[in-house]
Amino acid sequence: MKDDYYRGTSRTGRSDFDFVDLTYTVSPASDVWPGEKEPEFEHKRTLDRDGVNVTRFSMNVHTKTHVDAPDHFIEKGATIDELPLENICGDAVVHRSTEKPKGQKIGPKGLEGSKIELTEGDIFILNSGIQNLKGSARYYRDFPVPSVALLEELVNRGMKCYATDCPSIDPLDSQSHDNHHFLLSRGIPIVENLANLDELDEGKRVVFFAFPLKLKGLEGSPCRAMAMNNTEFG
């Protein structure tokens, strides 16, 4: 059993359910988007010297598992502290790509044969398989991205949030960032760099959470993302 994958019991005691931690650990050794600076941890006080641990940290708000708010690309778009929490938690469906990551675009046909049933107000989670390349140069080069046509299809079905294991929903060398513009201009938040998606049940509904820090006026934030596999415990 993985350290970040554990089983709990509902308050009613009727059923067990699985919590899955979908968040990457952040440290000064974390790999980051090409050209960005690694996180910094500064130990301002320590137990042996001061009798207390106090640490300051600094990093890009889009490091590791994080949420993009509309203000990331949209003028006067909602900032992360203005983002309604109900937009980044709730029922979700997981689509597992059958094609190995190679920098491809995933179009509407990519959902053909999928077990998902996306309905109004659902969160869409893409498991692209890129997490299997974590730590290699290919992770930031070969991650697949959705086509605008796929995003249109998902929005038409009622998607309220797009989440993925990929580090971005636009290619590494994109200048136009069409996918970010398409979703964020519609007030749809984006959750990127999810971990452990293979632990989620494809074809079954899960409950997803990705709560960011309440950072005033900023365009994004790191978050603690998690999901529950078995939701039939109400």
Lookup: tokens for 116: 């998902």
Contact 41, 69 (CB under 8 A): no
pLDDT of 12 above 60 = no
Q: What is the mean pLDDT of the chain?
A: 90
Domains, the chain: 13-26+60-228 (3.50.30.50)
pLDDT of 78 above 80 = yes
Please report the pLDDT score of residue 234 as a whole number.
Answer: 40
Contact 42, 56 (CB under 8 A): yes
Question: Which of 90, 146, 98, 150 has the alpha carbon at shortest distance from 122?
Answer: 90
Tokens 């993302």, located at residue: 225
Q: What is the mean pLDDT of residues 90-118?
A: 90
Contact 146, 182 (CB under 8 A): no
pLDDT band at 156 (very low <50, low <70, confident <90, very high): very high
Q: ∠ CA 53-55-60 to the nearest 5 degrees? A: 160
- The string of DSSP letters for the chain reads --TTEEEEE-TTSS-EEEEEE------TT---STTPPPPEEEEEE-HHHHSS-EEEEE--TTSSSEEE-GGGTSTTPPPGGGS-GGGGEEEEEEEE--SPPSS-EE-GGGGTT------TTPEEEEE-SGGGGTTSGGGGTS--EE-HHHHHHHHHTT--EEEESSS-SS-TT-SS-HHHHHHHTTT--EEE----GGGS-TTS-EEEEEEEP--TT-SEEEEEEEEES-----
Contact 111, 146 (CB under 8 A): no
Q: pTM for this structure?
A: 0.91
Q: What is the mean pLDDT of residues 58-86?
A: 98
β-strand pairing of 66-68 with 105-106:
unpaired
Please report the pLDDT score of residue 189 as a whole number.
Answer: 98
Q: What is the mean pLDDT of residues 24-53?
A: 97
pLDDT band at 233 (very low <50, low <70, confident <90, very high): very low
Tokens 């869409």, located at residue: 124
Beta-carbon contacts of residue 196 (< 8 Å; ≥ 6 apart): 2, 4, 5, 20, 21, 22, 131
β-strand pairing of 190-192 with 161-164:
parallel
pLDDT tens, 111-152?
877 778 899 999 999 999 999 999 898 999 999 999 999 999
pLDDT of 4 above 80 = no
pLDDT of 6 above 60 = no
